[in-house]
Amino acid sequence: MRINLDTVHHLQLGQLRNLFINDAQKNDHLGSFFKDSCLQAEFGYYQQYVNPNNTIRYLKAWLIKPHTDYPNAIYLDSAGVLLGYDNGIRTFR
């Protein structure tokens, strides 16, 4: 399988910042905590498994986080859609 990848992005850093702050507020009530802090943005390709047969789709996306691993969010570059949010909290049974 051949994949043509490019590095042209659509979302701007200000848009990503607003998306992350809104989702941090919605999920963890931390929006105000990140309002005046620096965030890290990494642009790349997100590997998404589409079905149980492990068919893979590659999406241009952004990983946004503070200068720690959590919380983090991944956004689809073409539309700003949230692909995943992780606050680092794990529960074990």
pLDDT digits (tens, 9 = 90+) for 45-63: 998 888 888 888 889 999 9
CB atoms within 10 A of CB 74: 20
Q: Does position 2 have pLDDT exceeding 90, yes or no?
A: no
**Closest residue by Cα to residue 80 from 35, 38, 17:** 17
Ranges of each domain in the chain? 13-86
Say if pTM beats, i.e. exceeds, 0.75: yes
* Separation between Cα atoms, residue 93 and residue 51, nearest integer Å: 27
Q: Quick one: fold of 13-86? A: Nuclear Transport Factor 2; Chain: A, (3.10.450)
Residue type, 29: H
Strand, coil or helix: 50: coil
